[in-house]
Chains A and B, each alone.
Chain A
């Protein structure tokens, strides 16, 4: 079957660094997304990885290892507004390249 695993909840302190992991088992791989979703709001795009390595974008970075079926999202200099759910989504194989969503990691940033 196809599966994406993320921790359900994480807690971190304002100003710190946090790493949110995502592991996946899918039939084929054509890229991985990270989205941020504040409670009751729409998901918003953070990053897209299709090749191995680290992609940095301001305070947020995303890493991918295709051989290990593993990605992480790194958030630096945490701010209170980073309290949100972080969704990992993998594009599988097939003609329409379906997107498979993880259940999300709820991050609470404390002062």
Chain B
């Protein structure tokens, strides 16, 4: 089944404790991205990757890192999480960039206390 898989689904952590949210897609998509979704602010792009070893900042990259060592995986790293990073996070992939249909992962609800 074609899908984007994120883990974990839910995470509660403390300020400053490094964490990684994994994202994997099995559709051989070139393009992957990370979003955060907050009430009243909608979906905001954190980072995106157009291909292996190619990543770039989205609209809200501060406090986040990503890597794209393989086509299928695009982990999101929070080196020192802070409470303002409490949010619902989505990974997405698409075949040919943002002008093609995006497939989203199930979401990761992160709480930083």
Residues of A within 8 A of B (CB): 30-31, 33, 35, 40-45, 48, 87, 91, 96-99, 101-104
Contact = CB atoms under 8 A, between A and B. Distances in A.
Contacts of A31: 99
Interface string B44-71: 1100001000001000000000000000
Contacts of B43: 43, 87, 101
A54 to B, nearest CB: 19
Interface size class of B (residues with CB under 8 A): 20 to 34
Interface of B: 40-45, 50, 56, 88, 90, 97-99, 101-107, 109
Contact of B102 (A45, A96, A97): A45
Contact of A104 (B42, B99, B103, B105): B42
Contacts of A99: 45, 98-99, 102
B98 A98 contact: yes
Contacts of B107: 40-42
Contacts, number: 49
B42 A101 contact: yes
A43 B90 contact: yes
Nearest to A50: B99
Contacts of A42: 90, 104-107
B52 to A, nearest CB: 17
Contacts of B44: 101
Given A41-B106, A42-B90, A42-B106, A30 B99 contact: yes
B101 A91 contact: no
A103 B42 CA distance: 5
Contacts of A40: 88, 107, 109
19 contacts: A30-B99, A40-B107, A42-B104, A42-B105, A42-B106, A42-B107, A43-B90, A43-B104, A45-B102, A87-B42, A87-B43, A96-B50, A96-B98, A97-B97, A98-B45, A99-B102, A102-B42, A103-B40, A103-B41
